[in-house]
Amino acid sequence: MFKGRSVIELMVLWLTLVVGFIILAMGVTLMVVKIAHPEADIDRATDALFSAITLILGALLGMLTVKGSARTELDKRPDEPEPHDITERVD
């Protein structure tokens, strides 16, 4: 799962995992509060929850888009010639 991934990708994935767990815990807490106290106003909390979900989805989709476009750019590049040593004397 982690082989061949860059450090940035791993950091984004771990951050997403941690934030996802926090979002899940917040959702469960809101459900418990709404069930225990139906009269409670949790509109601001649910707005914050949906904003966080949108943020995480945006980060993951952005990572996938950048990775895909970088791969496409690398595939489109023409083969570059072997670099030559500019300190070599050519007569």
Q: Which tens digit of pLDDT belongs to each residue from 4-53?
A: 777 877 887 888 788 889 899 999 999 999 999 999 999 999 999 999 88
Instruction: Give the integer Cα–Cα distance in Å for 58 and 64.
Output: 10
Question: Which range marks the domain in which residue 46 is found?
Answer: 19-68
Nearest to 56 by CA among 18, 16, 27, 83: 16
Q: Three-state SS for 33?
A: helix
Q: Is residue 40 part of a domain?
A: yes
Residue 76 lies in a domain: no
Distance of alpha carbon 38 from alpha carbon 25, whole angstroms? 19
Please tell me whether the overall predicted TM-score, pTM, comes out greater than 0.85 for this model: no
In the chain, how many domains are there?
A: 1
Query: Which residue shows structure tokens 């997403």?
Result: 16
